[in-house]
Amino acid sequence: MPTRPTPPPRTATAPPAASSPRVPRRRSYDQFCAAARALDAVGDRWTLLIVRELLAGPRRYTDLHVDLPGVSTDVLASRLKDMERVGLTVRRRLPAPVSAYVYELTPRGHGLLPVLTALAGWGAPELTDPRPTDAVRAHWLALPLRRSLEREDWRGVVEVRLDEGEFHVRVGADAGEPVYGEGAAPEGTAAARLELDVGTCLEICRGLLSVADAVRDGRVNVKRSTA
Amino acid sequence: MPTRPTPPPRTATAPPAASSPRVPRRRSYDQFCAAARALDAVGDRWTLLIVRELLAGPRRYTDLHVDLPGVSTDVLASRLKDMERVGLTVRRRLPAPVSAYVYELTPRGHGLLPVLTALAGWGAPELTDPRPTDAVRAHWLALPLRRSLEREDWRGVVEVRLDEGEFHVRVGADAGEPVYGEGAAPEGTAAARLELDVGTCLEICRGLLSVADAVRDGRVNVKRSTA
DNA sequence: CGGCATCCGTGACGATACTG
DNA sequence: CAGTATCGTCACGGATGCCG
């Protein structure tokens, strides 16, 4: 093993330089490792969940705050600032009538989709029933469902109707477009529509049931658009 | 959206019910979302980097502490405890001569490999030169390199020799075995050996250069074992 | 009213010292 | 060697205030 040049052993003798004008001193792992570099950028609490929301398209501050229950206002503001600094997002002024800002992923930020997909795939087995304290949004199921659909070679925008709500998800073809969203798909974009109950959806997300089998068993109602 | 009943605004006069016996109250996002569930388990600082080290095989406390520069002893101990509680790791007593403990991934913990791979893939573009403050370990390159090799359909244990150090990595065939490690591969397991310089290795990790091209240009020296 | 900034209490984190 | 104990600092979460 190569001897490591002991990095300047920051001894305690270096007090945090309490005066130096303002060194925000972003906390870094300081490791020459790709995963550590990634975690330097997105490892802070809430950051990846903000990305999850922005994968649905540009969002305003208040919308983000509503769909991220539990985040405090200052942390959300701080994260959005950090993310812009790091190049994950841009802050854009909406055009004419509304004078508001939206936050939007850059291509670099959009590139985190595989990370969230992997996380969702790993976390899906624990999606059984919502705990009493859990917040619920229909489009949060899009991430794991998309993974299952992609593995069965689905492509295009799929509309999903559950009793509890509706969402849509874009499978494959990863340009910069929104990956999913609450509610029905934009007019005319849907390649297929699925109707199923939440239990079935969760089994598919957890990989216990293939979409093909679920369709065959009549647990999923499929309508394909005339393409 | 359902209006949420504003919870009784506990004024500062209400001490946090200091009596309830001991609710450690693990911090959770409390969202019915697969990615949020995953982050509940592995979203804490250092956790995924500990998994990164354990993907190299069972490790003792001190070894982990050495290969995770910057982590403090108490945080490392706390994380290992949490990870065991959540089922990511087990603590095992080494058999006869040495009386020591090792920490080892469970299958569930090993299942985080795709997450780390995705993170490494996203973070690799920022692997240019080590910053002066960066710690360096040869096997940290295994994660992104493995991803590149896998995309070019390599399989088996590949030994990698850089001027600065040597490591090996198991590509494909994801059982529970160690995925990579510092130094040469265990005797007789190597399917191939690569000799290259760090710059070339980084270009491959960043996806700027295919292994095939690098071999053709003579930037990589390949020796395949007689299989 | 949307978009933050500020203040405050608690808990997580990081460094060091200490112990079985 | 393998952690635990202690302590200062900072990040987080909740509420509230300000400002266009």
CB B212 within 7 Å, strand D = no
The reported pLDDT for the residue numbered B24 is 45
CA distances A127 to A124, A147, A169, Å, are: 5, 15, 19
What are the chain B neighbours of A34 within 8 Å (beta carbons)? 119-124, 126-127, 140, 143-144, 205
Kindly report the nearest CA distance between residue B125 and chain A, in angstroms: 8
Q: What are the tens digits of pLDDT across the range B200-214?
A: 999 999 999 999 999
Interface contact flag, B130 A32, Cβ < 8 Å: yes
Average pLDDT over chain B, rounded to whole?
88
Residue lying closest to nucleotide C17, CA to C1': B73
Output the six-digit token pair for A38: 């990634």
- Residue–nucleotide distance: A41 CA to D2 C1' (Å): 32
Q: Which nucleotides of C are covered by protein (CB under 7 A)?
A: 1-17
3-class secondary-structure state, position A65:
helix
Contact A140 B34 (CB under 8 A): yes
pLDDT less than 70: residues of chain A: 1-26, 96-97, 226-227
Which of A32, A106, A145 to probe the B interface (max B CBs under 10 A)?
A: A32
Closest by Cα among B179, B42, B186 to B117: B179
Kindly give the pairing relationship between strand A165-171 and strand A220-224.
Answer: unpaired
Residues B178 and B170: beta-carbon distance below 8 Å: yes
* Interface residue of A29, A30, A65, A119 to substitute, partner B, most B CBs within 10 Å: A119
Q: Looking at chain B, which residue has its C-alpha nearest residue A37?
A: B123
Q: And the tokens for B65?
A: 């502490």
**The pTM is what?**
0.88
pLDDT for B209: 96
Q: Do B38 and A119 touch (CB under 8 A)?
A: yes
Check if residue B84 sits with its Cβ under 7 angstroms from strand D.
no
In chain B, what percentage of residues exceed pLDDT 90?
Answer: 80
Distance in Å, residue B184 CA to nucleotide C6 C1': 56
Q: Please give the Cα distance from A18 to A7 (Å, whole number).
A: 22
Q: Rounded distance, CA A160 to CA A183, Å?
A: 9
Tens of pLDDT along A59-99?
Answer: 999 999 999 999 999 999 999 999 999 999 999 988 766 77
Q: Which of A49-58, A205-214, B97-106, B152-161 has the lowest mean pLDDT?
A: B97-106
Q: Write phi, then psi, for A172 (nearest 5 degrees).
A: 70, -175
For residue range B11-67, list pLDDT tens digits in order.
Answer: 333 333 333 333 445 689 999 999 999 999 999 999 999 999 999 999 999 999 999
pLDDT at B6 over 90: no
**Are β-strands B165-171 and B156-162 bridged in parallel, bridged antiparallel, or unpaired?**
antiparallel
CB-based burial label for B23 (10 Å; 0-12, 13-18, 19+): exposed
Considering only the beta carbons, identify the residue of A30, A39, A70 that sits closest to B70: A30
